[in-house]
Amino acid sequence: MKYIYIALLFTLLSSGASAGHPLMDRYDLDSDGLVTAEELTQAGCSVKDSRFKAADINGDGFLTKKEFLKAKNYLATSKQCNNN
Ligand SMILES: [Ca+2]
Ligand SMILES: [Ca+2]
């Protein structure tokens, strides 16, 4: 049993991507560690383009965990996302 936990922990640590924040896990649908506007839409959020762009600090079209968590209060609120 112990080995299963160790193996699981190792898998989580080595995959690295979305391991970390429950909100990231919810919206990072493909678990690549980045949240796109498309993923937010698929997760049930209505995301205004301007808001996503404001959140995407380096303008690469993806939100890193840092960018996403900074912007979550205006990007992924219960008002905008119907899955909360
Ligand atoms: Ca993703
Ligand atoms: Ca970005």
Residue 79 has what pLDDT?
85
In a domain, 5, yes or no: no
The residue length of the chain stands at: 84
For residue 32, tell me if it sits in a domain: yes
pLDDT value of residue 83: 59
pLDDT the model gives residue 12: 56
Nearest ligand by distance to the CA of 36: 1
Taking the chain (84 residues) in runs of 10, the rounded mean pLDDT of each run is 64 56 93 96 93 97 96 88 69
Say if residues 11 and 56 touch (Cβ distance below 8 Å). Answer: no
7 alpha carbon – ligand 2 mean position (Å): 32
Q: Is residue 25 part of a domain?
A: yes
DSSP string over 2-29: HHHHHHHHHHHHHH-SS-S-HHHHHH-T
**pLDDT, position 20:** 76
pLDDT for 51 equals 94
Using the mean position of ligand 1's atoms as its centre, give its distance from the Cα of residue 3 in Å: 30
pLDDT of the residue at 18: 45
CATH code: domain of residue 64: 1.10.238.10
